[in-house]
Amino acid sequence: MANSNQILVGLAVIALIFGGWMYGTYKSMANARIDGDAQLGKINVEFQKRANVLPNMIATADASLSAQTKMVVGYAEAREGTQLANDAMAESQANPGDAVATQKAVKAVQDAKADWATFELNARTESVPQMDLSLLRDYVKEMSAIENVIAYKWDTYNDIAKGYNKKVTVFPGSIVAGICGFEEMKYFEAEAGAENAPVAKFSV
Q: What is the per-residue pLDDT across 9-41, written as a single tens digit (0 to 9) for each?
A: 888 888 888 889 889 999 999 999 999 999 999
Instruction: State the pLDDT confidence band at 50, using cuts at 50, 70 and 90.
Output: confident
Q: What is the pLDDT of residues 77-108, one digit of tens each?
A: 777 777 776 776 777 777 777 776 667 766 76
pLDDT of amino acid 129: 42
Q: What is the pTM of this model?
A: 0.59
* CA pair distance 160, 167, nearest whole angstrom: 11
Average pLDDT score, the chain: 79
What region does 181 belong to: left with phi over 0, alpha with psi -120 to 50, or beta? left
Strands (E), the chain: none
What does each C-alpha distance from 109 to 72, 79, 81, 163, 184 come to in angstroms?
Answer: 21, 12, 8, 78, 79
> 172 preceded by cis ω (within 30°)?
yes
3-state SS, residue 200:
coil
**Long-range pairs of 129-136 with CB within 8 A, sequence gap ≥ 24:** 130/60, 130/63, 130/64, 130/66, 130/67, 131/64, 131/67, 131/68, 131/71, 132/64, 133/64, 133/68, 135/60, 135/61, 135/64, 136/61, 136/64, 136/65
Q: Which residues contact 122 (CB under 8 A, 6 or more apart)?
A: 70, 71, 74
| DSSP symbol at 186 | P
Which one of 72-81, 97-106, 174-183 scores highest in mean pLDDT? 174-183
Dihedral-angle region of residue 191 (phi above 0 means left; psi in -120 to 50 means alpha; beta otherwise): beta
What's the pLDDT at 128? 42
